[in-house]
Amino acid sequence: MQDDKAPITRQKFIEELLRYRKGSVTRRHFLGVTGLGTAMAVMGGGLPLLSPRRAFAQGIGDQVVLATWPNYHDPANFDAFAAETGAAVQVNVFGSNEEMLAKLQAGGSGWDVFVPTNYTITTYVEADLIEPLDLSKLPNYDAASFEARFADAGTVDGKLYAVPKNWGTTGMAWDSSKAKAPFTSWKEFFDVTRTDFSGRTMVHDYQLTTIGNALKYFGYSFNSVDPAELADAEKLLIEIKPHLFAISSDYQPAMRNGDAWLTMCWTGEGKQMNRDIPEILFAVGKDGGEIWSDYYAIPKNAPHRDAAYALINYLIDPAVNAREAAAHGFPVADARVNALLPPEVLSDPILYPAAELLNAQEFGAAVTLTDPNRAEVMARFKSA
């Protein structure tokens, strides 16, 4: 630890890597012990302020901009990518697909790679905001290793626009030390919010899941665009609004410090909180809810297209992707990656709910994203 430059044995490196993956050491410790920190410092040429960035042989430029979701990557992988290619990864974090779509529609987002969810891709194609992928530049992509339901949405009209990143569910996470009984359904989620958990619940700051789960309260489809059903959902949401702690998709800080006790939550984030604070539990609704699959895609007019391909190709490399999964906890659809993950991860009940629970979940539909009524219901709920 004291001496960054001391060599490290292969054995010790693997040990440290495993400890790091389990989260028992910090990234800083890991980089220090393994000497990667020194290597990176040398590669980076010290402070970027003081020295011009190095030119690398591949010539993909010195940066690449990634628009993605919070807590969805292993930062060490970006450092390694930068060290390998010379392109620093700038990460822009978003809270919803609506927000990403709005930014792309307004033009000049400056992104090279972004992470759309399954139900958005046809909309991007129709609006001409996304470009077909050139598979020759993605040698690490192997279509055969993906389960179809998590990869299908990437292909529109026979053309491949996006390659799968992770899949997961949108369930609920809660502080079990405050709850009388475990949560099992969206019905309970909203009912307990009105009573025991008043002032302690968070819902997402975008319409798809917040409205979708309110629809499930009444047993309607998660994807309903029926005006009468949406009216019921709106009534419920406006009724529980005074009982909410916040309307926000950044729920981890409030859950971790105890301000919030219950939240709508994406699988991997539920896992992240549960790993650090065992009292925080996660479940999907037995009455339904969302199952989703995220993809990597390249927007039209990406300023650093070569770097974009290089980054996607790097991140879908099974070894790299396994490190990503170890850090963020979301399930991976790539069989090659799962072969590298420890068996206890693959049998984790948070990440891989029982089949009958999973079967109750619905993939979001394209019309669910674009339906003007749903957008307006959400906006009215927020400004109510």
Catalog residues that contact other proteins under the rule CB under 8 A: 26, 28, 47-49, 65, 70-71, 88, 90, 92-93, 95-96, 98-99, 101-103, 105-111, 123, 126-127, 199, 205-207, 241, 244-248, 250, 252-254, 257-259, 301, 303, 370, 372, 375-376, 378-380, 382-384
Parallel, antiparallel or unpaired: strands 155-156 and 113-114: unpaired
Q: Please identify, using beta-carbon distances, which residue of 25 and 138 lies nearer to other proteins.
A: 25
Give the residues across from 146 on adjacent strands. Answer: 334
Nearer to other proteins, 19 or 241 (CB): 241
Q: Is 364 left (phi over 0), alpha (psi -120 to 50) or beta?
A: beta
**Closer by beta carbon to other proteins, 85 or else 109:** 109
Query: To the nearest whole angstrom, how small is the minimum distance from the Cβ of residue 278 to other proteins?
Result: 18
Per-state percent for the chain, helix, strand, coil, to nearest 5: 45, 15, 40
CA distance 237 to 178: 23
Q: Which is nearer to other proteins, 195 or 257 (CB)?
A: 257
Q: Which is nearer to other proteins, 232 or 250 (CB)?
A: 250
d(CA 308, CA 64): 6
Cβ of residue 296: shortest distance to other proteins, in angstroms?
19
In the complex, minimum distance from the CB of residue 190 to other proteins, in angstroms, rounded to a whole number: 17
> Nearer Cβ to other proteins, position 183 or 206?
206
Q: How far is the CB of 152 from other proteins (least distance, A)?
A: 21
> Could you tell me the smallest distance in angstroms from the CB atom of residue 63 to other proteins?
8
Q: Other CB atoms closer than 10 Å to residue 190's CB: what's the count?
A: 21
Rounded least distance, CB 96 to other proteins, Å: 7
Task: Supply the DSSP string of 333-379, one letter for each residue.
Answer: -BHHHHTTS-HHHHT-TTTS--HHHHHTEEE--HHHHH-HHHHHHHH
| DSSP single-letter state for residue 320 | H
Nearer to other proteins, 27 or 286 (CB): 27
Q: Which helix (H) or strand (E) holds 322?
A: helix 318-328
Query: How many Å apart are CA 239 and CA 162, to the nearest integer?
Result: 39
Q: How many CB atoms lie within 10 A of CB 132?
A: 16
Q: How far is the CB of 200 from other proteins (least distance, A)?
A: 9
41 contacts 288 by C-beta, under 8 angstroms: no
Cβ contact 168:330 at 8 Å? yes
